[in-house]
Chain A
């Protein structure tokens, strides 16, 4: 199976091919200086000389990551109006708000590489750039909010913690801020599921159903198996990626299985068991054909997610224009008065 079209289905991960150059021509660049910085584990900073391929690859990865945070607001946002207690409503609003903040930090990191946020957002809207496929699954019940916090944010954190040491300074710094904020996300998800699984029969069934639906898509968030992950080696050499997809996936499984026991919920994989020899949990085969379909646009909510995002952007155009016009007028007035 070939994964070369596999683009941006994991946030904080990268598998795609390079998008067309974003602007201008590549400046002549000093291979050795760049290699020396990487070798010293020094950070690359915005105005440093860097290979054009490194720059483009980072732009694509950071943009996809940012898009994922933003589209990721929708499935959980779907439950803000219906959260079953006022405490949960407040937590959820704060959480979805955080995701907007994460998108913002990441777009800003991408902008240090010489692209504009507006262009990146346009590329999302036109489908040229992708976002994590996990957000194309619907949140059908309240328990899905718990499952997303526990599993999806959990998988995201597993992916993102190593990115805090990524070779590109602005990306690494954005990830430090994001990871700090993420820690409450996973906990609140776990707490939701814990409460449900210790609640009424109906609540427990709701929790189990959500975990059943979100478990496999969460494992897919780490991307294709290492042998099918063409850009991984290059990203590792560049210090963008620190661990392979399979390593991170294993780390996530090992962390999550004991938590599921504490929750009193099962994970929908009959092959899941501790392997003493490996010192890890074994898990069953992941059906990547499903992921295939979701990435191609045939997931349960692809069309809705994009329509929601584009719709909000278009509905806000008059507001953005008005603010620009007001700023121009006032700049002129201030100049006139001076």
Chain B
């Protein structure tokens, strides 16, 4: 009885102008056109969005937890990339 599923799509919603698209969830659809429409019906029916992206889940390349340390740890000690690293003399503004 098992039938092949329609492919899985990831849905990204822009809540309002000025904001980025944010991952909202996923759904199944036979193709991109239907995925977009299903996303509209499923993820914006309470007025949650003004723009939608759908991406086939299998097209997403993701970093793995194994790669976490070499990927992300080296960024941890570069504190000079953050403005709070620098001392600003009292009274200096707009800096």
Q: Does A207 contact B (CB under 8 A)?
A: no
Q: Does A116 contact B (CB under 8 A)?
A: yes
User: Which 4 A-B pairs rank lowest in CB-CB distance, beginning with the nearest?
Assistant: A323-B30, A118-B5, A327-B31, A108-B26
Q: For this complex, into which size category does the number of interface residues on chain B fall? A: 20 to 34
* A84-133 interface with B by 8 A CB criterion: 97, 101, 104-105, 108, 111, 116-119, 122, 125-126
Please name all residues of chain A whose beta carbon is closer than 8 Å to the beta carbon of B31 when the two chains form the complex.
323, 326-327, 330-331
- What's the tally of chain A residues with a CB closer than 8 Å to chain B? 30
By a beta-carbon cutoff of 8 Å, the part of chain A in contact with chain B is: 45, 47-49, 97, 101, 104-105, 108, 111, 116-119, 122, 125-126, 173-174, 177, 181, 317, 320-321, 323-324, 326-327, 330-331
Main secondary structure of the interface of B (DSSP, over half): loop
* B24-38 interface with A by 8 A CB criterion: 25-28, 30-31, 34
Please state if A324 and B4 are interface contacts (CB–CB under 8 Å): yes
Q: How far is the CB of B49 from chain A (nearest CB, A)?
A: 13
Main secondary structure of the interface of A (DSSP, over half): helix
Please state if B6 and A125 are interface contacts (CB–CB under 8 Å): no
Q: How far is the CB of B52 from chain A (nearest CB, A)?
A: 16
Kindly report which residue of chain A lies nearest to residue B11, judged by CB atoms: A108
* B49-75 interface with A by 8 A CB criterion: 62, 64-65
Please name all residues of chain A whose beta carbon is closer than 8 Å to the beta carbon of B8 when the two chains form the complex.
108, 111
Please name all residues of chain B whose beta carbon is closer than 8 Å to the beta carbon of A327 when the two chains form the complex.
30-31
Please name all residues of chain A whose beta carbon is closer than 8 Å to the beta carbon of B65 when the two chains form the complex.
45, 47-49
* B1-28 interface with A by 8 A CB criterion: 1-6, 8, 25-28
21 intermolecular pairs with C-beta atoms under 8 Å apart: A47-B62, A101-B42, A104-B42, A105-B25, A108-B8, A108-B25, A108-B27, A111-B8, A117-B28, A118-B2, A118-B3, A119-B2, A125-B1, A174-B25, A177-B25, A317-B3, A320-B30, A323-B6, A323-B30, A326-B31, A327-B30
